[in-house]
Amino acid sequence: MLGGRKLRTWLLEQGIEWDGDLVAIQARLPGCGFGVWARRDISEGAVLCRVPKAAILSRRTTRIADVLEEAKIAGGLGLTVACMYEATSPNSPWRGYFESLPAREYLPMFWAEPELALLAGTGVAERAQEDRELAAEDFYAHVPALCAQYPERLPAARLTLDAYLAAASWVASRAFGVDSHHGMSMVPLADIFNHKAAVVALAGGYSIEQAAYEHDGDSSEDSSDNEGSGDGQGEPAEGVTETQNGRAIQPVLEHRSNGPDALPAQDAGSDDRPRKRARITRGSLLGSAEGLQLEIGIVGACNAAGKEVLEIVAAAPVAAGHEVHNTYGELGNAELVAKYGFALRCNPFDAVHIGKAALVDAAAAALGARACRARCRFLAHHSELLEEDAEPFEVAPGALLSAPLVAALRVLFADAAAFSAWSSLDDALAGWPGSGTAPLPGAAAELAAAEAAAARARGVAEREAAGARVAALRLAAGKARLLADALAALRPLVC
């Protein structure tokens, strides 16, 4: 891994600029990657960095762009093959960039068995195994054939499965959707900004350039880049765009030519179905966005010479001496561990999902099958709450229950007298549950010990193992806190 001075030299050689009066690029800890810190107070709107699009690595800029075009390999797979090729080439224009990266991002698909065991019950360990299998499938489906077709340009001895997995881990944790031409890309310097929890809300006049993520018709778009098993269908959440396999990719913004009013608000009240069916949505489970503001935005622009660049702009004031963060999306710790290999100590986007079938089974056990069927018919007639593709049943920090969960609980566990008097969900939704917190001294002590051990760790392998243990324990502790809160909050509804 390059030291900070060598990395800064390479960035400048590529025409990548940053305001040295405002920000400093520094190593967080030896061997633990870089971060960006404010040298002095930063005002909202200040331009911190400029990255020429000519300096990014994409399937269009790689030296094997013609090979990928001929083979119709695009999307995350195309970028992964490009990264593998450039990272293993001693003459790559991006050599200095790849030398600044870890040998591979220590994602759960690389974790050892003792570390994966800490993820039991979270679903992340199973996902990690699936991620590795999907990545291997992609490699064997495409790379050996390319090496056979272009043996002089693509030497098989260099383009191995291990090299592909390393490249896939970089793409999974660092790629940005840039524009409709480049698509998913590696953006040196932009990927140095580390994550913080933030509510993703765009100011008027900006939008996400969705064309950077759309299908371009290439069959390879259906392949995963290496992570996740979601189908990637439907509209992405604002500020987070998903690849074909569910991987959240950091967005680049564009100016909206028609200003902040170009996109009218959707009419939430329109519903032409013959009978009333309540549509209860998640809404905001955070209560307040205080302390969760975005700190940077990445915007397409042109420099003084008329060349296309990406500008990294302060989206909020940052005090001198503080680290300047990006946000990778409104992600809970399970997603952060699965996608990036780390977890936050306190994550406002954590949530526990409660299975709908399990909730119905619990109601049947408590009230009897006949009473439960009547309540399920009521919910089916007046809502979509029990449909699997409807809003999930969630518990968020602070014992905040999602509206669908509260509504289902009120109906499923209502006593006979109250239930018989209801003619709609409005009758059933009489109030919200309180909150409660259960102390977790054992888990807290184990996590504190793991964090202390991580701070003392030396050497890459020891730091990776310690970091993985901290991430897994933070994930488990957060889920345990949420479940304890949920039990306390649910008692008034089901007892």
SS3 for the chain, per residue? Answer: CCCHHHHHHHHHHCCCEECCCCEEEEECCCCCCEEEEECCCECCCCEEEEEEHHHCECCCCCCCHHHHHHCCCCHHHHHHHHHHHHHCCCCCCCHHHHHCCCCCCCCHHHCCHHHHHCCCCCCHHHHHHHHHHHHHHHHHHHHHHHHHHCCCCCCCCCCCHHHHHHHHHHHHHHCEECCCCCCEEECCCHHHCCECCCCCCCCCCEEECHHHCCCCCCHHHHCCCCCCCCCCCCCCCCCCEECCCCCEEEECEEECCCCCCCCCCCCCCCCCCCCCCECCCCCCCCCCCCCCCCCEEEEEEECCCCCEEEEEEECCCECCCCEECECCCCCCHHHHHHHHCCCCCCCCCCCEECCHHHHHHHHHHHHCHHHHHHHHHHHHHHECCCCCCCCCCEEECCCEECHHHHHHHHHHCCCHHHHHHCCCHHHHCCCCCCCCCCCCHHHHHHHHHHHHHHHHCCCHHHHHHHHHHHHHHHHHHHHHHHHHHHHHHHHHHHC
| Contact status, residue 227 vs residue 247, Cβ threshold 8 Å | yes
Measure the CA–CA gap between 346 and 343, rounded to whole angstroms: 9
| Contact status, residue 343 vs residue 122, Cβ threshold 8 Å | no
Closest to 223 in 3D by CA, of 80, 56, 63, 57: 80
State the pLDDT at residue 40: 95
State the pLDDT at residue 236: 34
Measure the CA–CA gap between 104 and 353, rounded to whole angstroms: 31
Note the pTM of the prediction, 2 decimals. 0.69
- Domain(s) labelled CATH 3.90.1410.10 in the chain stretch across 4-255
State the pLDDT at residue 462: 82
Which numeric CATH code is attached to 4-255?
A: 3.90.1410.10
pLDDT digits (tens, 9 = 90+) for 117-158: 988 877 788 889 999 999 999 999 999 999 999 999 999 999
pLDDT digits (tens, 9 = 90+) for 390-434: 777 877 766 667 778 878 888 888 888 888 888 887 777 754 443
State the pLDDT at residue 217: 38
pLDDT digits (tens, 9 = 90+) for 221-242: 333 333 333 333 333 333 333 3
Closest to 227 in 3D by CA, of 161, 172, 177: 172
Token pair in block for residue 83: 């990264």
Which residue bears the tokens 């102390």? 439
| Contact status, residue 53 vs residue 305, Cβ threshold 8 Å | no
**All residues at 6 or more sequence positions from 407 whose CB lies less than 8 Å from its CB, including other chains:** 278, 280, 383, 385, 425, 428, 429
State the pLDDT at residue 426: 78
Closest to 178 in 3D by CA, of 52, 276, 335: 52
State the pLDDT at residue 168: 95
Give the chain's residues under pLDDT 70.
1-3, 28-32, 199-291, 397-400, 430-449, 451-452, 455-456, 479-495
Measure the CA–CA gap between 435 and 84, rounded to whole angstroms: 50
Query: How many percent of the chain have pLDDT more than 90?
Result: 33
Taking the CA atoms of the chain, what radius of gyration do you get in angstroms? Answer: 25
Number of residues in the chain: 495
State the pLDDT at residue 283: 33
Token pair in block for residue 220: 């390879």
Closest to 300 in 3D by CA, of 239, 255, 242, 258: 255
Measure the CA–CA gap between 74 and 459, rounded to whole angstroms: 37
